Amino acid sequence: MGKKFLQKLNDENDEYYNFISVIAPSLYSFLYQVEICVLSNIGFDKLNWILCIDSMTLKFEGALRSFIKLQGSSTLTTKQKKRSKTNDTDIREQTLDELINSKIIKSNFSDNEIALFKMVFTENGANIRNNVAHGFYHYENYSFSKALKVFLCIMRLGKYKMIKKS
């Protein structure tokens, strides 16, 4: 995740980026909270896990999108416009469920890893992504177990070498 990639902004400007620079603060928050719990003998559910869960969840989705794009695939899909008489379609980003079920993910990740992603992020599992993105969680919904699940998903992503395919 620390590998730098070139992104063309326009004909004149390029930008280098890596994933660790945007994921690191949320990982630091998670690991710092764990360290506090271990060193001070405070219960894991006594601390506030909001920041790390919210950040890690959204960064996971972004990293997964980037992984798919680096493999030469698209994260866009088309959808028929509602009540359209001309069969117009909208272009939109795929949902996280669609990303997880994409051919690229299925060919690069094990069945167990995909099952983990689904268990943590989709409506057939804990649905953490949807609950975070739409602000459905309240303070008491945030817990160490959710933070750990999201952390483990990020670690699974991190085991892959992200190489841009032309």
pLDDT band at 159 (very low <50, low <70, confident <90, very high): confident
Please tell me the distance from the alpha carbon of residue 26 to that of residue 153, in angstroms, as a whole number.
13
Task: Read off the pLDDT of residues 61-99 as tens digits, 9 standing for 90 and up.
Answer: 998 998 888 888 899 998 777 766 666 788 899 999 999
CA distances from 90 to 33, 68, 75, 81, 108 (A): 42, 21, 14, 6, 28
pLDDT over 90 for what percent of the chain? 58
Domain extents for the chain? Answer: 5-158
Give how far the C-alpha of residue 68 lies from the chain's centroid of Cα atoms, to the nearest Å: 12
Place of tokens 């790390």: 52
Quickly list H helices, 47-164.
50-70, 96-100, 103-108, 111-121, 128-133, 144-158
Give, for 21, the enclosing helix (H) or strand (E). helix 20-40
pLDDT in tens, 23-49: 899 999 999 999 999 999 888 988 999
Instruction: List pLDDT tens digits, range 98-151.
Output: 999 999 999 999 999 999 999 999 999 999 999 999 999 999 999 999 999 999
Q: What is the pLDDT of residue 13?
A: 74
Domain 5-158 has CATH 2.60.40: no
What's the pLDDT at 88?
76
Tell me the C-alpha distance between 162 and 166, whole Å. Answer: 13
Distance in angstroms (rounded) separating the CA atoms of residues 76 and 125: 24
